[in-house]
Amino acid sequence: MSQYDFDLFVIGGGSGGVRAGRISGGYGARVAVAEEYRYGGTCVIRGCVPKKLLVYGSQFAHDFEDAAGFGWTVGETRFDWATMIANKDKEIARLEGIYRKLFENAGARTFDGRATLKDAHTVLIGDKSVTADKILIATGGHPVKPAVPGAELMITSNEAFHLKEQPKRIVIVGGGYIALEFAGIFNGFGSRVTLLYRGEQILRGFDEDIRSHLAGEIGKSGIDLRCKTDLTKIEKTKDGALLVHLTDGSTLEVDAVLAATGRKPNTGGLGLEVVGVRTDAEGAVVVNEYSRSSVENVYAVGDVTNRINLTPVAIREGHCFADTVFGKKPRSPDHADVPAAVFSQPPVGTIGLSETDARAKYGEVDVYRTSFRPLKATISGRDERVMMKLVVDAKTDRVVGAHMVGEDAGEIMQGLAIAIKAGAKKADFDATIGIHPTAAEEFVTMREKVKA
């Protein structure tokens, strides 16, 4: 008989925690989980899933416009924000129930409330106290606002999903995933969008061609993109609008300001310092390759570790944890060549190294790049161009990076990710017959190297 109430206590009911608890339960572990907000975590409740639903909704404006070129007569259209949000909320509630059931079906006990650590084996949830042999921190992260006067007037992605009214004029601050995705969403729904980014170019860390091509495309869509520009202050006007002061001395009057300037791990007030769990300067739990913290029986997965903050990565980390600790099959998550998509409009798909990083790692690389007008646009009349790029290690012919801006980029990149993860060479791409007519076929028909 174990001296503890549970073999595993998971703090956080998001994607990583759910996977870890479910798989651990399958190995026979006695599992419990505590969640203070809603099961499903950021991705399901206030992240990837509701965001993608809003992306779908916002794209209909373009679809209605494109239809005319194909002979359709579309009558007067009208968008109702409240209906969109209500239907989104219904779907999120359904998914939340599924996530809770995943735990319960694995035999886990669920606690609704904030959990903190009393010691390395004791968890407090309100006035309850339980013990566990192993503890897993899977509390995710939260959005942060820039430290400027009037920051309290800003919203974040958390609040953006629950706005009662659609802002007709909105400033979005940031140049990463979240900023670009919400810029496309609000623009598609008809809001006047100004996107501010203090850096030289959006999507820092991505391939340079991706960054510049996407900047040009979103500019065509009507988004007012202003790089090397930041806000200095926000004030509320007499009529309830927000006056945004910019670093160039100008001002903007808008209905909402969305901060998309980064996220930080949810480690504050958990009691980590009480038990000696080490965190870094950002507050992330420091872990080894098996997700173990500085305390032997305390582990952490997902965004709270600030490794690669993507839902599928958190799920893989949680699964590897369960295999290692309860399945007796030591397995560390592989963080190399993780594919990713940005659901901007147009979307971005990427896998592997950027051209800059590949040159730094391999020295000599071959680059293949193409840009073309997609077939649909030839009749719709839309001014858009797709960009695709392959980066190849010249010595081995291995494809070390693939990048795309264009419709279905995420779907296409998932297939390429398998090939690149398996070590495919450019010759393998060349030997593959394309599916015609598709945009994806361009990845296997590019033959001319970009001249250095």
* Gap between the Cα atoms of 51 and 258, Å rounded: 14
> Which entry of 62, 121, 213, 436 is annotated as an active-site residue?
436
* Gap between the Cα atoms of 51 and 56, Å rounded: 9
- Which pair of structure tokens corresponds to residue 349? 């798909």
Longest Cα–Cα distance of the chain, Å, equals 73
Q: Could you please report the per-residue DSSP string of 64-127?
A: HHHHGGGT---------HHHHHHHHHHHHHHHHHHHHHHHHHTT-EEEES-EEEEETTEEEETT
For 373-411, list the strands marked E by DSSP: 386-393, 399-405
Nearest CA-CA partner of 263 in 204, 134, 177: 177
Q: Is 436 a catalytic residue?
A: yes
Is residue 356 within 8 Å of 208, Cβ to Cβ?
A: yes
Residue 351's SS3 state is: strand
Residue 193's SS3 state is: strand
* Gap between the Cα atoms of 331 and 319, Å rounded: 9
Is residue 137 within 8 Å of 302, Cβ to Cβ?
A: no
Is residue 212 within 8 Å of 299, Cβ to Cβ?
A: no
Is residue 137 within 8 Å of 299, Cβ to Cβ?
A: yes
CB atoms within 10 A of CB 338: 18
- Which pair of structure tokens corresponds to residue 100? 């809770």
* Gap between the Cα atoms of 129 and 115, Å rounded: 10
* Gap between the Cα atoms of 338 and 331, Å rounded: 17
CA distances from 143 to 48, 139, 179, 202 (A): 14, 13, 12, 18
* Gap between the Cα atoms of 376 and 396, Å rounded: 37
Nearest CA-CA partner of 282 in 137, 178, 144: 144
Active site residue ranges? 436
